[in-house]
Amino acid sequence: MHTRSTLPWAWQLVQRRTRRGLALGLAMAASWTSAGPLPVLANPVPSTIAAEGHGLNDSIGRAPEAASPAPTVVPANIPTDSANPNATPGSTPAQPPAQAPNLSPSPTAAPAELPVKLVLRLRERRVYVYRGDRVEVSYPVAIGKPSTPTPTGTYRVFQMVKNPIWRNPWTGQVTNPGPNSALGLRWIGFMERSNGIIGFHGTPTVNSIGRAASNGCVRMRNEHVVELFEKVQMGTTVVVEP
């Protein structure tokens, strides 16, 4: 009898506790529903972080990093205010005026680079040195006498000799070179004949200069033939006019 009376009492106690637990659970659920939805994180995880393989937990609760300011780029051809303190902020600096094209004519050859030509005028007893179309200098000469005249025509220098040695064609005597030699200090040959060569040469017989006195060659003062020698070269044109 004692066992039967105890079981109902215990069962009643379990039932009472169960009802209390259910009531408490219903009350808590009601309080959660009235409080509203769950809060959302203030700094959601950017999609790029997940895409780059970073852990989601690494960014939770952290403030986003501030982006670095972009550097200021100044074009090389525009001065800054520090270079021009009088410049108006935001204004475009004045550009230098365009340079006018150089319309000067092409440089011509220097006088020393122009070709030299010799013109011997027999009537004038004078040889002219042309550089280009301009007469640079002229010298008095002696030309061939009427029986042995200096030939006219156009020729070219083909012999140039310093301190030439002269051999007398009639006696065979050889004269040492020098100012007293019959050929003087220089020889410039420009025309060849069957009986010899015609050319410019120095002479000690200065009183013949200006006359028709030679055997066909062109006599000059030694100082003049030395100057002429420096102005010509092999191949220089020689024009002999009447």
Q: Which are the catalytic amino acids?
A: 201, 217
- The CB-side HSE value for 115 (13 A sphere, CA atoms) comes to 7
Structure tokens at 113: 């680079």
121 closest CA partner among 148, 149, 147, 143? 143
**Which residue type occupies 237?**
T
The answer to whether 142 and 208 have CB atoms below 8 angstroms apart is yes
Taking the C-alpha atoms of residue 229 and residue 203, their distance in angstroms, rounded to an integer, is: 14
Structure token pair of residue 11: 């069962």
Measured CA to CA, the distance from residue 234 to residue 196 in angstroms comes to: 19
